[in-house]
Every structure is written in structure tokens, then in C-alpha cells.
Amino acid sequence: MFATAPIIALLILGGLLVCMTALGVRRIEAAHPPTGQFMDVEGARLHVAELGRKRGEPGAEPAVVLIHGASGNMEDMRIALGEQLASAHRVILIDRPGHGWSSRPADDSYASPARQAELVAEALKRLGVTRAIMVGHSWGGALATAYALAFPDRTAGLVLLSAVTHPWAANPGWYNNIASLPYVGPLFLRTLVYPLGLFMAAGASRSVFEPQAVPENYLRRAAIRLVLRPKAFFANARDLALLKRFIAAQVPFYRKLRLPTIIITGDRDALVSPKINACALAAILRRAKLIVLKDVGHMPHHAAPGIVVAAIDELAPAN
């Protein structure tokens, strides 16, 4: 009888954590509802929002497509760049498959930047976008380069922000490793991710922005807590766990890129090495322009949005 007491206590605790997570997810979703439209694309459901110029208006082509990084969603790119760009461009924001309000099957093939680029390409086609400036931050930079490789005729240029472009030695993190484990992972996702995430979110944001300060009310304004939902957290974990393999397969094809590319990185980026990624890619591409921002970390679109907007305008002059 006494031996079963700890088991009963664990079951009760587990049940409480499951209920806490379910209620927490409802609160998060109520606080950050969808802001765009939905498209069902090849097994995924993409959440897409448009700002600025309308299709067919002057300045609408090439469109500017903003692709967010890991652990985030379109709102990060909206608050940093979207509103500024909207005055002169057609801006398209996309929640990557599995992130924000976009969904995807659990199949690991959807964690590939190339596969995600295919889904984005179909969404842009339905929106009538014939050519685009692809702007990708961090993990989103891998998607942007994959898009340019697969659809060169539909890509007017690339702007890469602290982009992952080459294999690296970094570990995706203990929490992402646990989330990927069979049996243990699903339990972790439905019990501990939400409470741990609430506790760790502020500190994690500080480490991402260092040496810059986290913008005021960033977690709320960028809807960062959407990643604490079990399915979104799992998708993010698989994206990070498998990225190195996908990137390694992509590197040999970079020399095929002939389009204008502006690579922007911070010299104090501790998450995505400028030397391994930005500098290495700039050395390969014939039409690349490298901008290294002094004393800037992993979030150049927040630290120096004017420089990023100027780079986009350079590739897509405002009309």
C-alpha cells in the first residue's frame, strides 16, 4: 500500500500539470488570435498576413516576404520590419509550418527548410506573387536560401539576417532533445513545457537579444508564448534537431545562386556564428553584400531595423 502512494502522487501531479497546460494553451491562444488568413497547402495549414500595397498596385512587385526564425512566429517580423515596410511595399508575413497559427503533419520531412520553402512557394503563388524579396532571420534564413535555390525565377533577391547557412556544432538544447524522445517526449510536452516555458521565457529572450536589451513588452507583442503549445513546441524542436543535416545537404548548391543577396549579421551574435555562416556564405556568392553590425547580437532586425529596411529597398526600390 505504501509503495503505491508515490505513484498515486505522481499521477495526481501529472494530471494537474496536464490541466494546467490545457488551460494555459487556451489563455495563450485567446491573447494572441490569428491576424491573417489560412491556406491549406499539401498537408499543412499556413497562416499568412498581408500588409501595405495591394496586388497590382505600384510597388507591389516584387513582394517582400518576411520569414521568422526558430521559437517565434510572424509577429516578431511584423513589429520589427513589417509596419515600416508596408508604406512602400507589398509585405507578406508567414507563420512557418508548425509555428504560430500554422500547422503541419508530424512527419519529419516538414522540418526541412526545402520542404517548408515548397509550401511557402505554393502559398505565394495563390496570392499572385510572381517575384519576391525573401527576408529570412536565423532558421528562416535557411528557408529563404532553400526557396531561392528551388525557385530562382520567382526570387528577386535575398536579405539574410543572422541566418543559418552552414553546419555548426551547437546542441539544440536539452528541452528540445527531450521533446523529441519517444514516449517521454509527448508526456514532457503535455505536462512540463508550459510551466517551464513561462519560467524560462524572459531569460531566454535576454540571451537571444544580448548585448541589446529585450524590447519593451516583446514577449506579448511578438506572441512568443505561442511556442509553448505542445504541437508548436514539438515542431520547433524537430526543426532545430534536424537543421544541421538539412543544411549540410544544401551547402554544395550555394554556388548556383546568382541573385543579389545582402547578408546582415551582428559581430556579437553568440547563437549563429557570423564566421561560420554569414562570412562563409558571402565568400561563396558572386553577388553578395556582407554587412557586419558592430556590437549587435542575434536580432539585427530589432537592433538596426533602418539598415535592414535600406537593404530591402536596395533590392526592391520603392515606387
Distance CA(259)–CA(269), nearest Å, equals 26
Please tell me the predicted confidence (pLDDT) of residue 318.
58
101 has pLDDT over 90? yes
Distance CA(53)–CA(50), nearest Å, equals 9
220 has pLDDT over 90? yes
Q: Per-residue pLDDT averaged across 172-197, rounded?
A: 92
Please tell me the predicted confidence (pLDDT) of residue 137.
98
319 has pLDDT over 70? no
Superfamily in which the 4-315 domain is placed by CATH: Alpha/Beta hydrolase fold, catalytic domain (3.40.50.1820)
| pLDDT band with cut points at 50, 70 and 90 for residue 10 | confident
pTM of the model: 0.95
Please tell me the predicted confidence (pLDDT) of residue 1.
46
Q: What is the pLDDT of residues 133-172, one digit of tens each?
A: 999 999 999 999 999 999 999 999 999 999 999 998 878 8
Q: What is the pLDDT of residues 69-92, one digit of tens each?
A: 999 999 999 999 999 999 999 999
DSSP strands (E only) in the chain: 37-41, 44-52, 63-67, 90-94, 132-137, 155-161, 261-266, 288-293
With cell 556564405, the residue in question is 281
Distance CA(51)–CA(90), nearest Å, equals 6
Q: Per-residue pLDDT averaged across 254-282, rounded?
A: 97
Please tell me the predicted confidence (pLDDT) of residue 3.
56
Q: What is the pLDDT of residues 225-243, one digit of tens each?
A: 999 999 999 999 999 999 9
Please tell me the predicted confidence (pLDDT) of residue 225.
97
Fill in the DSSP letter of residue 47.
E
| pLDDT band with cut points at 50, 70 and 90 for residue 57 | confident
59 has pLDDT over 80? no
Q: Give the rounded distance of the alpha carbon of 248 from its chain centre.
A: 19
- Percent of the chain past pLDDT 90, that is, above it, reads 87
Secondary structure of 223-240 in the HEC alphabet?
A: CHHHHHCHHHHHHHHHHH
Distance CA(118)–CA(121), nearest Å, equals 5
Q: Report which of 62, 254, 288, 64 is spatially closest to residue 153, judged by C-alpha positions.
A: 62
Q: What is the largest CA-CA distance in the chain?
A: 78
Query: How many residues belong to the chain?
Result: 319
Q: Report which of 127, 128, 144 is spatially closest to residue 136, judged by C-alpha positions.
A: 144
Please tell me the predicted confidence (pLDDT) of residue 218.
97
- Percent of the chain past pLDDT 70, that is, above it, reads 98
Please tell me the predicted confidence (pLDDT) of residue 115.
97
> Any idea where the domains of the chain sit in the sequence?
4-315
Distance CA(76)–CA(301), nearest Å, equals 9
108 has pLDDT over 70? yes
Q: Per-residue pLDDT averaged across 99-103, rounded?
A: 98
Q: Would strands 155-161 and 90-94 be described as parallel, antiparallel, or unpaired?
A: unpaired
Fill in the DSSP letter of residue 256.
G
With cell 556590437, the residue in question is 295
